[in-house]
Chain A
Amino acid sequence: MRVRKQPPGVDPKHLIKDAAKLLPQSSRRRFLRGATSVGALTFLTGCDILDSPSAEHALRVVSKFNDWVQAQMFQPHKLAPTYPESAVTKPFPFNAYYSEDEAPEVDGETYKLEIAGLVGNKQSWTLDQLYQLPQEKQITRHICVEGWSAIGSWTGARLSDFLTRIGADLTAKYVYFICAEGYSNTIDMPTALHPQTQMTFRFADEILPRKYGYPMKIRIPTKLGFKNPKHVVAMVVTNEDRGGYWEDQGYNWFSGS
């Protein structure tokens, strides 16, 4: 499942199909299995009423409702607080579902960002081409779904500029990201167009290290850390919610800050 090197010239359609295979529909639908099971209510009643399918369903419905509430609360022009250089957390924590030495190794020479979906120009982008994009730096707080936070310095191109440049349908509902090792995220278009949502190429003024997502991560300071995909190799503009690695396992889909 872990892809050490990104094969050159991968067809995005196949990539998407592969990613979909990794996340079969049936398993998505059972994402809550075990989420609240045995032990859940032991200190209350000794029974596990939360484990019942109807409780799972109810929690899923409320989580969907919370997606909607968060979309309503989202202010397209409200910026995440920014900080001075001195506030950057050192060392910035590494966090992933794999250990640091297992982080995907992507070859920058052969790397290509594949573009698919509702866009005018589906031509793929080499790293050199991406580096030519106008870039800006942000020092913002990364907040993990676990609760901890850390301040980082990220430099890259505005995703909204890029989407405009490639002629993306900005009225589409979602942007879907696929990562080198199979991780994925779907985000809402308003968040994709937020001025601080960034295609990140540098961390703390250095080329984005492997552990932080070389060669490109998507930095979204208005979303929790797990909605900031690393090692992004494909971007799909779509009207279909394709879920994501953690989202499919029960984490709230919108997960906005």
Chain B
Amino acid sequence: MSAQAFDVVTLTGPASQVVHPIWVRVTHWINALAMIFMIGSGWTIYNASPLFPFVFPVGIGNWLAGALLVHFAAMWVLAVNGLVYLTLGIATGRFRRKLFPIRPSDVARDLVAALSGQLSHEDLSVYNAVQRLLYLGVILAGIVAVLSGLSIWKPVQVQELTALFGGYDAARYVHFFAMTAIVGFLVIHILLALIVPKSLRAMVIGR
């Protein structure tokens, strides 16, 4: 009896709603794993011919051939999983509902609130304007990373795409900056997940 009442209460409370449907959670964690392998092996590949006067102190694959094998294997996981995510995100209307609209005034307001520690995370199912901007931004960075990566991999077969990025050499820089944007996002993303642990719980069990 009391257990039943408890259930009713929790089921109607905000925490009982499914924040992230199963397809979001599955694609999120597959993407997380694929990203770690892509970024880690990408750093080793970068080190073989650095674009800037520094090399990465860590990476996946302890020499170029190994890193390339990992990179060109993980790319399939990243691309296929990313396509599933984008397709479902668009088809279910989730992107439209969750990520839009993004108004600059809201972003400014929420950014000030976030930095002064006054942003509410009561309802995880509604993204604030800063979240919307960052999530949309990282999706775009992911798309740019994949397309610039494709144009570096196949600069003859998809030369029209490579030209769109300004040619082979420029596409390498685009690819690097897309990675930088994703890593920058990850730093904030992981930090905030640790500050608001229930958001991590929601991405695991859905609520």
Q: Which residues does A use to contact B, with CB under 8 Å?
A: 32, 34-44, 50, 58-60, 62-63, 66, 73-75, 78-81, 141, 143-149, 221-222, 246, 249-252, 256-257
Contact = CB atoms under 8 A, between A and B. Distances in A.
A36 B69 contact: yes
A35 B70 CA distance: 10
A44 B70 contact: no
Contacts of B186: none
B72 interface: yes
Contacts of A32: 65-66, 69
A2 to B, nearest CB: 22
Interface in B38-82: 40, 45-46, 48-49, 58-70, 72-73, 76
A87 to B, nearest CB: 11
Given A73-B157, A145-B64, 12 more contacts: A36-B66, A37-B66, A41-B60, A78-B156, A81-B159, A81-B163, A145-B68, A149-B168, A249-B65, A250-B66, A251-B65, A251-B68
B206 interface: no
Contacts of A43: 40, 58-60
A35 B49 contact: no
A32 B68 CA distance: 12
8 contacts: A43-B60, A79-B156, A80-B156, A146-B49, A147-B46, A149-B168, A249-B65, A257-B154
Q: Is the interface of A mostly helix, strand, loop or mixed?
A: loop
A66 B61 contact: no
Contacts of A38: 62
A73 B154 contact: yes
Contacts of B73: 58-59, 62-63
Residue among A44, A147, A222 with max Cβ neighbours from chain B (10 Å): A147
Nearest to B172: A147
Given A35-B65, A43-B40, A62 B172 contact: no
A63 B53 CA distance: 31
Contacts of B123: none
Contact of A256 (B40, B154, B172): B154
A40 B60 contact: yes
Given A44-B40, A149-B168, A75 B65 contact: no
A73 B155 CA distance: 12
Contacts of B59: 43
